[in-house]
């Protein structure tokens, strides 16, 4: 493509990239790239595509003293173009991940929270950005997935994301901006070579571009080839992964993948983690998942953290779990006339009186007994229907309850006496006399589709 692109040429390029999409939201930082993107889309709306629904969103990270000035700039620019603008203020928590990564996480979460239904997000990364992303992945020792760099169209953030400028260079965008008389923000932090991307952009890539002018295009081709290889592997391994993964809880069959070659096992583990919503692990992390979690001794309860998620093993299966609040010390007093909302999104308990004795009902509390709900029990449990009591750990194992769920299962107590775990067991102390009024407790648990399942006692 000719370096001196006219405004019409860029508009035509964008028209080809957006296809039939008509509800567009531009991530507008106010820098050169996003300024050109919004201006070119506005020209497209004013010309051959008046049906475009176009707006912009600006993320205020609060990391620069000039951030408020940038807001003023993008407000004025959008007013000039007659494009609605939403400014979103975010907090950047850099603990454990660095400022760049934390800002990126906060930014993409803000997009997810503020995109309208049916809207597609457009960002303005260009050919040179793609080259930088590839080299940063190379520096990290990434495989084909990381070296695929940025996709022109993706949905792995939870919403559709289009990058229409990946085949255009920064020089081409600068030419467009100069011809159109555009003004943009120069972020002062872009000159700070302590950041890896800035170091590449300012200190390394200029020499490479001078020696090999088509270096960005060559890198882009390599990234495309890596992406094609990943797509092929996805297709070849998808059926195996589906067979090895439990649809109900997302767990992975350890013995089955243990019998595979190391490369196939590693590829399946990566795809399993990606399907469960984890960030791509390093090679070392992947090996640790296998050595320290999957292959740990049988009586161990191993786990390995992947950012906020944790990989755990139970009954020869791997699980990827979200953060869970500790409920060990939680005690909830319960007036059983009303439903009880459980903490940490565990749902509700509801009690109803029954007059026909059944195997899952418990006696009513006496006047001197207070009903409470707890999430921890120790020692021996006298399960109804058995002659002998069992250690609580042994009973949980018998009931096939993973360790992390044992402290998230509501337990009904009368004073200090355990009575029942909804849907799992009742104790001998909970048995009622024949034909005496009894309680039946239902545990309504939220599931993935926001409906509810229940467990009764």
Q: Of all residues in the chain, what percent carry a pLDDT higher than 70?
A: 94
Residue 219 counted as domain residue: yes
Cβ count within 10 A of residue 322: 9
Instruction: Find out whether 90 and 104 touch, Cβ atoms under 8 Å.
Output: no
Instruction: Find out whether 204 and 193 touch, Cβ atoms under 8 Å.
Output: no
Instruction: Find out whether 384 and 425 touch, Cβ atoms under 8 Å.
Output: yes
pLDDT value at position 1?
Answer: 40
Domain span at residue 128 reads 7-223
Instruction: Find out whether 454 and 442 touch, Cβ atoms under 8 Å.
Output: yes
Q: Is 65 left (phi over 0), alpha (psi -120 to 50) or beta?
A: alpha
- Condensed to tens digits (0 to 9), the pLDDT of residues 128-166 reads 999 999 999 999 888 888 899 899 998 877 789 999 999
Binding residues: 29-34
Mean pLDDT over each residue of the chain, to the nearest integer = 88
Number of domains in the chain: 3
Residue 1 counted as domain residue: no
276 & 384 share domain:
no
- Six-digit token string for 298: 């049988």
Q: Which residues pair with 253 in a beta bridge?
A: 317
124 & 210 share domain:
yes
Residue 274 counted as domain residue: yes
pLDDT band, very low/low/confident/very high, at 28 (cuts 50, 70, 90): very high
196 & 298 share domain:
no
For 28-152, strand residue ranges (E) read 53-60, 85-89, 120-122
User: Of 1-5, 184-188, 316-320, 326-330, where does mean pLDDT reach its minimum?
Assistant: 1-5
452 & 346 share domain:
yes
Instruction: Find out whether 251 and 276 touch, Cβ atoms under 8 Å.
Output: no
Residue 326 counted as domain residue: no
**Domain containing residue 278: CATH number:** 1.20.59.20
Q: Is 181 left (phi over 0), alpha (psi -120 to 50) or beta?
A: left
Using CB atoms within 10 A of its CB, is residue 60 exposed (0-12), middle (13-18) or buried (19+)? middle
**Domain containing residue 150: CATH number:** 3.40.50.620
User: Of 55-59, 204-208, 440-444, where does mean pLDDT reach its minimum?
Assistant: 440-444
pLDDT value at position 411?
Answer: 95
Residue 240 counted as domain residue: no
93 & 168 share domain:
yes
264 & 370 share domain:
no
pLDDT value at position 354?
Answer: 77
Instruction: Assess whether pLDDT exceeds 90 at residue 433.
Output: no
Residue 367 to residue 50: CA distance in whole angstroms: 74
Residue 268 counted as domain residue: yes
Name the domain boundary from 298, 321, 344. Answer: 321
Residue 190 to residue 354: CA distance in whole angstroms: 69
pTM over 0.85: no
pLDDT value at position 187?
Answer: 83
Binding residues for ATP: 29-34
pLDDT value at position 92?
Answer: 82
pLDDT value at position 280?
Answer: 79
Residue 302 to residue 296: CA distance in whole angstroms: 7
Residue 421 counted as domain residue: yes
Using alpha carbons, select from 215, 23, 235 the residue that is nearest to residue 116: 23
């Amino acid at each position: 493509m000719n370096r001196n692109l006219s405004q019409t040429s860029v508009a035509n390029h964008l028209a080809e990239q957006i296809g039939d999409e008509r509800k567009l939201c531009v991530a507008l930082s106010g820098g050169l790239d996003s300024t050109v993107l919004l201006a070119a889309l506005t020209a497209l709306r004013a010309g051959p595509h008046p049906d475009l629904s176009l707006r912009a969103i600006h993320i205020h990270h609060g990391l620069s003293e000039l951030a408020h000035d940038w807001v003023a700039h993008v407000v004025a620019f959008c007013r000039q173009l007659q494009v609605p603008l939403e400014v979103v203020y975010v907090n950047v928590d850099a603990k454990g991940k660095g400022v760049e990564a934390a800002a990126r996480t906060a930014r993409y979460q803000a997009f997810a929270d503020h995109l309208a239904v049916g809207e597609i997000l457009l960002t303005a990364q260009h050919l040179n950005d793609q080259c930088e992303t590839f080299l940063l992945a190379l520096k990290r020792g990434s495989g084909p997935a990381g070296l695929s760099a940025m996709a022109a169209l993706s949905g792995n953030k939870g919403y559709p994301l289009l990058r229409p400028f990946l085949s255009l260079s920064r020089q081409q965008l600068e030419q467009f901006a100069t011809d159109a008389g555009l003004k943009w923000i120069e972020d002062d932090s872009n000159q700070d070579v302590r950041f890896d991307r800035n170091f590449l952009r300012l200190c390394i890539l200029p020499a490479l571009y001078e020696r090999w002018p088509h270096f960005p295009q060559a890198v882009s081709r390599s990234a495309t080839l890596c992406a094609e290889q990943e797509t092929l592997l996805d297709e070849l391994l998808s059926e195996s992964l589906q067979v090895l993964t439990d649809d109900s809880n997302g767990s992975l069959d350890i013995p089955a993948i243990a019998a595979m070659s190391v490369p196939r096992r590693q590829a399946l583990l990566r795809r399993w983690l990606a399907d469960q919503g984890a960030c791509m692990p390093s090679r070392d992390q992947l090996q640790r998942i296998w050595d320290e979690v999957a292959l740990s001794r049988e009586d161990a309860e191993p786990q390995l953290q992947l950012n906020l998620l944790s990989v755990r093993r139970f009954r020869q299966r791997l699980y990827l779990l979200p953060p869970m609040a500790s409920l060990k010390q939680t005690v909830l007093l319960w007036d059983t006339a009303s439903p009880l909302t459980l903490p940490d999104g565990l749902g509700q308990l509801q009690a109803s009186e029954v007059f026909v004795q059944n195997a899952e009902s418990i006696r009513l509390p006496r006047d001197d007994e207070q009903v409470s709900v707890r999430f921890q029990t120790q020692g021996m449990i006298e399960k109804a229907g058995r002659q002998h009591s069992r250690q609580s750990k042994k009973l949980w194992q018998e009931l096939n309850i993973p360790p992390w769920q044992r402290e998230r299962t509501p337990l009904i107590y009368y004073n200090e006496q355990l009575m029942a775990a909804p849907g799992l067991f009742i104790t001998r102390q909970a048995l009622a006399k024949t034909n005496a009024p009894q309680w039946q407790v239902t545990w309504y648990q939220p599931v993935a589709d926001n409906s509810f399942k229940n467990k009764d006692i």
